[in-house]
Amino acid sequence: MKILKSGHTPPGQSEIQWTGTDNNGSYLPAGIYHVVMFFNDKEMESLKVVKK
């Protein structure tokens, strides 16, 4: 698991970029990765990211 962003985000559109690395900075292999976003402890959106 990797936390891409934690903490306050101002209202409006936001963008989060993932470099394809884990928490140690090591590149992960190609595959399908599940991304889950939470807002105020509630799951807001989940999606799958394909890393080639």
Token pair, residue 11, equals: 């209202």
16 within 8 A of 6, measured Cβ to Cβ: no
* pLDDT of the residue at 36: 84
Average pLDDT, the chain: 83
Sign of CA dihedral 18, 11, 37, 6: positive
Query: What is the pTM assigned to this prediction?
Result: 0.62
**Total residues belonging to the chain:** 52
Instruction: State the Cα angle at 10 between 39 and 41, rounded to 5°.
Output: 10
pLDDT tens digits along 35-49: 888 877 788 777 777
As averages over each run of 10 residues, the pLDDT of the chain (52 residues) reads 84 86 90 83 76 71
CA distance 37 to 34: 10
